[in-house]
Amino acid sequence: MSAPSERQIPVPCGPQALAGLPEALRNVSYSAARHPGAGTPECTSSAGDAAGALAGGANCQRYAYAVLGHFGLVVPPLRSAELWADERATVRAGQPRPLDLVLFDGGPVAGRPTGYGAHVGVHLAPGQVLHLCREVGRPAVWAYADFAARPRYARFLGAKRAVGAARG
């Protein structure tokens, strides 16, 4: 069974993929206070609810989960360390594929679990990651080299693949 055409992997990739997303996924402001688990309204990752999930802004995780939700993939509202450790809703992926979550950080920090404070984006294609960060303030597509050039994102931690589809 194939997904409806509006929920197919974005083609073309890169900035053109961003332009092809619904307005609710293109015009989101960055807000560090709007993270998974951040009180009302609770983060949702259900497909088709991007406008509600992103009202008032989002952080990188909330945004990435809403993008996946748009494409029919469900990830519970996990913070980055929880996402990295998760083995129920996601699996670790060797080579990222389109719509895999990718995590970046500045390297290990003593006393913190792997993935703590990691930046989360959505892999679109080789060298292309859709994400939301404070630096830009709106969704953007960066190359992996753009992350590597910034100390806080310099380490590619790895990729996680959503294993649950939205019911609907």
- Tens digits of pLDDT across the chain (168 residues): 344 434 455 555 656 677 788 898 999 999 888 766 555 444 444 444 565 678 889 999 999 999 999 988 999 999 999 999 999 999 999 999 999 999 999 988 899 999 998 999 999 988 899 999 999 999 999 999 999 999 999 999 999 999 976 554
User: What CATH number should be reported for the domain whose range is 10-165?
Assistant: 3.90.1720.10
Token pair of 126, please? 């080789």
- The position carrying tokens 């409806």 is 4
Q: Point out which residues pair with 119 in neighbouring strands.
A: 104
Ordered by start, the domain boundaries in the chain are 10-165
Tell me the three-class secondary structure of 112-125, residue by residue: CCCCCCCEEEEEEE
